[in-house]
Structure 1
Amino acid sequence: MAPKRHAPPIRLRRLAAELRRLRGVSGLTREDIAERTGINAATLYRIETAKVRPQRRTLVGLLDLYAVTDPQRSEILELSRTADEQGWLRPYHADLPNEYTAYISFEAEARGVRNYESLFVPGLLQTEDYSRAVIKGVWPTATTKEVDQRVQARVERQALFKKESPLELWAIVDEAALQRKVGGLNVMSEQLSRLVESAAEPYITLQVVPFGTGAHPGMPGSFVLMDFPEAVDPSVVYIDSMAGDLFLEAEEDIRRYNQIFDYLRAQALSPGDSIDLIDKVLRETC
């Protein structure tokens, strides 16, 4: 019997993804790096696929080659130091760096995303004006530049639907997200129309939990389940909280959130009835 393969911890997967990104930005091949640093190309492959954690001197050599400076350099070194631990709480930073954040990196590599939202339209389905209104509303001290960065990042994420193999999204939203007039009537009308259009795409499934459902398992808060192409990379749960971005990977957490999503899917309106409800709210909004 073949030995059981253990999934790499989420921190190690994040580290590998960031090192792949940095190499891509540098334009260097693994063979180029082997020539410049003496790091074996096969070893670099294992590092970039999260099969091993790089030794500190190896990681420092790569960061030197990629000209990575603080604060990003310190964050990557800390990520490597804790790479064998499970779970991850990533605190918010004052601004959004140009490079992908942890969530965006995982989302970009996912095969499918299951997203429940209790108060907002899912980020992957937001219009630019709705995104701007949401970010300004929940982050009242943000500068114009900070808002612009967040909005741009949200818009760029939607390019995942334009890939040759588009990201598969199953989104469930509470009716509260449809009824709240974020940004005013015009912005909300445009956003509701976007939802109707998006739901017609074969890679997007949209359901609404109506007010009439009463109490339901999603009321404690929103969450995202990300599923990946490789069996060795199990699902990851992402929870956006006031404290920061919480990533969960323990089997019991994945199982619990899978069950919650299944309950929500059963209690929500069918996709067709959901669109009828969105159309009804849209008519009332106009």
Structure 2
Amino acid sequence: MHNRRRPTLRLRRLAAEMRRRREESGLTQDEVFERTSINQATLYRVENALSRPQVRTLRALLDLYGVNSERAAYLLTLLRESDQRGWLETIDADLPERLTTYVELEDEARSVLNYESSFVPGLLQTEGYARAIIRGVLPEATLAEVDSRVEVRLRRQEVLTRETPIRLWAIVGEGALRHRVGGNEVMREQMLRLTEVANKPNITLQVLPFEAGAHPGMLGSFHVLNFGQVELPDVVYIDSMAGDLFLDGPADIDRYTVIFEYLRAIALSPEDSVRLITKLAEGG
């Protein structure tokens, strides 16, 4: 169970930008107080998403930091919408904070590039496969914890069928398709699901075959999320044994985008990928 409600994604975005704006302006919290009469406690809460600032407080800070009118309007919109909560609030799933952040970002993304070396991409998993994967990678999880994680994973997939669906380009390593997760029947069901979704107009699926040899994807799986807005830069998400990592620097975005383009070039075509997946579904 959650001990307290986490700040919404919009409030966290607002807090992060306000903290960055102050630091870029070269002002200390004491100097902000001297110029605006906004005390350190209030500023601390604003910059750490501990409370929603009042409109006049936010406007005073935006003026002090010299934020242009277009960006200020966007940040004021974030403030107005900062109480909006996503569907995760309706599920009793005690997820790690960074995973929760990823799910919230994915829910707002316009498109995602996803390379997976060891698993079928989460947005394309069947319930049986998802359950087997979660039980396998989290051997100490209780049945209830597994159930809640499965529920979250299946709910995530609604981004593919909503009114304005997310655009997914997924590349999956051949080894992930041949690994017998959950047994033959679970894998057969999963392969059939992949052949079905590969025909969706908003989904492109490619398989990276063993024959591709050494490639930069061997360093691990990653996601590149795009939000279709200048105000929201792309985000790279990396899930590893060492912990989850978010990168949003231009150099990082460029590097992972180039890696994805390279993998896309050496992977099987979407048509050949479906042929291979169909063969695997038939026991080939």
TM-score scaled by structure 1? 0.69
Q: Is the 8 A contact 2:112 2:169 kept in 1?
A: yes
Please state whether the residue corresponding to 1:284 is helix, strand or coil: coil
Give the unaligned 5+ runs of structure 1.
1-10, 19-36, 55-61, 67-71, 73-93
Deviation at 1:127, TM superposition (A): 0.4
Cα shift readout 1:168-187 (whole Å, capped 9, x = no counterpart): 00000000010001000010
Aligned-partner Cα distance in 2 for 1:40–1:250: 29
Aligned residue runs from structure 1 range 176-215, under 5 A? 176-215=175-214
1:139 corresponds to: 138
Aligned-partner Cα distance in 1 for 2:255–2:130: 30
Please state whether the residue corresponding to 2:218 is helix, strand or coil: coil
Q: Which amino acid aligns with 1:264?
A: L
Cα shift readout 1:55-82 (whole Å, capped 9, x = no counterpart): xxxxxxx99xx9xxxxx9xxxxxxxxxx
Aligned residue runs from structure 1 range 44-193, under 5 A? 49-50=74-75, 95-96=94-95, 101-193=100-192
Give the unaligned 5+ runs of structure 2.
1-7, 16-51, 60-70
The answer to whether the aligner puts 1:234 opposite 2:249 as a matched pair is no
Q: Which amino acid aligns with 2:267?
A: A
The answer to whether the aligner puts 1:251 opposite 2:257 as a matched pair is no
2:34 corresponds to: none
The answer to whether the aligner puts 1:284 opposite 2:254 as a matched pair is no
Q: Is the 8 A contact 1:135 1:150 kept in 2?
A: yes
The answer to whether the aligner puts 1:217 opposite 2:232 as a matched pair is no
Q: 1:272 to 1:13 in 2, by over 3 A?
A: same
Cα shift readout 1:228-251 (whole Å, capped 9, x = no counterpart): 121221210000012321000111
Aligned-partner Cα distance in 2 for 1:231–1:12: 18
Aligned-partner Cα distance in 1 for 2:139–2:200: 34
Q: Is the 8 A contact 2:215 2:263 kept in 1?
A: yes
Aligned-partner Cα distance in 1 for 2:260–2:134: 26
Aligned-partner Cα distance in 2 for 1:125–1:218: 19
Query: After TM superposition, where is structure 1 displaced by more than 6 Å over at least 4 residues in a row?
Result: 51-54
1:262 corresponds to: 261
Aligned-partner Cα distance in 2 for 1:163–1:102: 20
Deviation at 1:97, TM superposition (A): 7.6
Aligned residue runs from structure 1 range 16-55, under 5 A? 16=13, 39-40=54-55, 43=58, 49-50=74-75
The answer to whether the aligner puts 1:15 opposite 2:12 as a matched pair is yes
Q: 1:15 to 1:254 in 2, by over 3 A?
A: same
Q: 1:207 to 1:48 in 2, by over 3 A?
A: farther
Q: Which amino acid aligns with 1:164?
A: E
Cα shift readout 1:19-44 (whole Å, capped 9, x = no counterpart): xxxxxxxxxxxxxxxxxx99338959
Aligned-partner Cα distance in 2 for 1:13–1:126: 28
Q: Which amino acid aligns with 2:278?
A: D
Q: Is the 8 A contact 1:12 1:50 kept in 2?
A: no
Identical positions, percent: 53
Q: How many residues align?
A: 220
Deviates more, 1:123-132 or 1:156-165: 156-165
Aligned-partner Cα distance in 1 for 2:96–2:194: 29
CA RMSD of the aligned region, Å?
3.3
Deviation at 1:121, TM superposition (A): 0.1
Q: Which amino acid aligns with 2:150?
A: V
Q: Is the 8 A contact 1:12 1:53 kept in 2?
A: no
TM-score scaled by structure 2? 0.70
Q: Which has the higher contact order (CA 8 A, sep 6+)?
A: 1
Q: 1:50 to 1:97 in 2, by over 3 A?
A: farther
Q: 1:204 to 1:52 in 2, by over 3 A?
A: closer
1:272 corresponds to: 271
Q: 1:41 to 1:270 in 2, by over 3 A?
A: farther
Q: Which amino acid aligns with 1:102?
A: T
